[in-house]
């Protein structure tokens, strides 16, 4: 993460205005500085800081931070981020100035294939950082042999662990088993957040790429303050020991029984990611064992079987605090999702589902089960020609068709990333038009309030000219309209 400083109004525009004002004040203030310095003070300052007489050295630290933050912000995709470590490599004057305040020291971001000079800068950086908590990001690197990558990654990690006592967060996007020994007998007393992504050669990347080795579980045990643990490309391993203070947990592949155990044991869990759940080891269905977790508010889950299972892990859990649910493909039944939401009795705000849908399943029943929903993204996975969306389903969301009591009355964001049949083009246009125009249409109505639809997302080529023209018109009026270019490929 990059340390951000905003203006008084908390926005980037406020930051720019503040910096411009500060620059004008500094321009007025700098000419008076020499007269304010007596000779002895000047000599002493010059001895301890050879760059003290440079105009930028007279700036208050807060203004210097803002100036450098213009170069340290998030960059566009594909462009290299500029960090204080990079600015310090320009020359010794820049290195001294950029590193003159501890507020910039806490963020370290670099590629694992660092050069000799970058590693040397890193050592100097760590010495200057002292006891400042460190947020460390090691970015993924491509190209070169795995043997070379092991050497380069070990060199960077070996340098960083010399300050393991001050790690606050650690993110590594190309971790290799051959480097695990670097963490041996190393303690991380204030480390709270860990994100690990296993290294895989590009030829092994699939929909669910998995590493052959378990994650470095000993590292987790030696992090007593750990609250957030995300592991990408790793399967769950029994050696992973999780403390009860974990609030965020995610792993690429896990069995249903292990998932249920985690939900039952982590009493403070707030966010969980299980994109690849194996259902072969589900408990016996008679009776169905229900596991409750009363703190989990955000869940991302994907069911992985050769066919749509008769039972789902969702049939075994109850999450009364859930507000954000994302169901990933490939396999999950709509009926299981609806039953799970109803059983949990949660006030769901966001629902993102990409599922298989059979002809007998009812979207209207699912919508009726989530009256608190604010954001809905809908997509289907099937190789059949079955039409998922029907006019009566769309009309159930239209206030004019239900006496100003539509389903999903709180909906403000709607995305439908699938085929739009011909008989659904007009209903979709009417739905979007009516939910956008609600303040005017419902001004004299005494029925319960219906939220205004503020953003929509459709597949561009699925929109008939009339629907597309309406969406562009609403966009000009202020609605946020987004188009996906193409449908995602359907499974064979």
Q: Which pLDDT score is estimated for 8?
A: 31
For 63-95, the pLDDT digits (tens) are 666 666 555 555 455 555 556 566 666 666 666
Q: 168, 190 in Cβ contact below 8 A? A: yes
Read off φ and ψ for residue 136, nearest 5 degrees: -115, 130
Sign (positive/negative) of CA torsion 74, 76, 78, 81?
Answer: negative
Average pLDDT score over residue span 301-330: 82
Dihedral of the CA atoms 419, 388, 252, 346 (nearest 10)?
120
Place 12 in a pLDDT band, splitting at 50, 70 and 90.
very low
Whether the Cβ atoms of residue 357 and residue 380 lie closer than 8 Å to each other = yes
Residue 20, pLDDT score: 52
Q: Record the pTM.
A: 0.78
In whole angstroms, give the CA distance from residue 402 to residue 406.
Answer: 6
Residue carrying the six token digits 């370290």 = 108
Average pLDDT, the chain: 79
Percent of the chain beyond pLDDT 70?
Answer: 68
Which range has the worst mean pLDDT, 25-39, 185-199, 448-462? 25-39
- The span from the CA of 304 to the CA of 275, in Å, is 9
Q: How confident is the model at residue 438 (pLDDT cuts 50, 70, 90)?
A: confident
Neighbours of 34 (CB within 10 A): 10
Distance between CA atoms of residues 148 and 146, nearest Å: 5
Q: Using alpha carbons only, how large is the chain's radius of gyration in Å?
A: 28
Which helix H or strand E contains 469, and what residues bound it? helix 465-477
Q: What's the CA dihedral at 102, 104, 106, 107 to 10 degrees?
A: -170
Rounded Cα distance, 331 and 309, in Å: 8
Closest by CA to 196, choosing from 112, 300, 91, is 112
Token pair belonging to 284: 């016996």
pLDDT digits (tens, 9 = 90+) for 276-314: 998 776 766 655 789 999 999 999 998 776 555 567 889
How far apart CA 50 and CA 44 sit, in angstroms, is 10
Per-residue confidence at 31, pLDDT binned at 50, 70, 90?
very low
């Amino acid at each position: 993460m990059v340390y951000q400083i905003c203006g008084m109004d908390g926005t980037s525009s406020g930051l720019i205005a503040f910096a411009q004002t500060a620059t004008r004040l500094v321009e007025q203030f700098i000419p008076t500085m020499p007269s304010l310095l007596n000779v002895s003070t000047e000599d002493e300052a010059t001895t301890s800081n050879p760059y003290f007489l440079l105009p930028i050295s007279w700036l208050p630290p807060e203004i210097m931070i803002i100036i450098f933050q213009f170069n340290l912000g998030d960059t566009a995709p594909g462009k290299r981020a500029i960090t204080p470590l990079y600015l310090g490599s320009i020359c010794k004057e820049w290195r001294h100035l950029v590193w003159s305040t501890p507020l910039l020291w806490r963020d370290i971001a670099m590629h694992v294939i660092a050069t000799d000079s970058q590693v040397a800068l890193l050592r100097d950086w760590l010495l200057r950082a002292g006891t400042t908590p460190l947020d460390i990001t090691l970015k993924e690197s491509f190209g070169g042999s795995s043997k070379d990558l092991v050497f380069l990654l070990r060199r960077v990690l070996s340098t960083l662990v010399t300050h393991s006592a001050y790690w606050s967060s650690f993110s590594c996007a190309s971790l290799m088993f051959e480097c695990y020994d670097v963490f041996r007998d190393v303690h991380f007393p204030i480390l709270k957040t860990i994100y690990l992504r296993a290294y895989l050669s590009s030829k092994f990347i699939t929909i669910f790429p998995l590493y052959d080795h378990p994650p470095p579980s000993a590292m987790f045990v030696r992090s007593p303050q750990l609250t957030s643990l995300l592991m990408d490309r790793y399967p769950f391993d029994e050696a992973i020991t999780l403390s009860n203070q974990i609030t965020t947990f995610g792993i690429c592949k896990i069995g249903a029984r292990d998932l249920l155990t985690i939900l039952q044991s982590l009493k403070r869990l707030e966010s969980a990611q299980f994109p690849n759940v194996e259902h072969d080891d589900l408990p016996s269905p008679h009776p169905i064992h229900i596991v409750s977790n009363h703190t989990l508010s955000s869940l991302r889950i994907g069911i992985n079987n050769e066919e749509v299972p008769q039972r789902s892990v969702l049939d075994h859990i109850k999450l009364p605090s859930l507000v954000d649910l994302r169901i990933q493909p490939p396999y999950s039944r709509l009926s299981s999702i609806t039953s799970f939401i109803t059983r949990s009795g949660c006030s769901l705000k966001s629902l993102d589902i990409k599922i298989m849908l059979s002809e007998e399943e009812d979207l209207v029943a699912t919508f009726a089960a989530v009256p608190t929903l604010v954001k809905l993204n809908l997509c289907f996975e099937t190789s059949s020609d079955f039409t998922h969306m029907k006019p009566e389903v769309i009309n159930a969301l239209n206030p004019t068709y239900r006496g100003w009591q539509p389903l999903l009355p709180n909906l403000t964001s709607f995305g439908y990333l699938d085929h739009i049949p011909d008989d659904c083009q007009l209903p979709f246009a009417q739905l979007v038009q009516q939910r956008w125009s609600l303040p005017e249409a419902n001004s004299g109505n005494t029925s319960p309030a219906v939220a205004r639809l503020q953003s929509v997302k459709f597949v561009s080529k699925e929109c008939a000219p009339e629907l597309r023209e309406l969406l562009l018109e609403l966009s000009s009026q202020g609605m946020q309209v987004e188009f996906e270019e193409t449908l995602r490929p359907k499974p064979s």
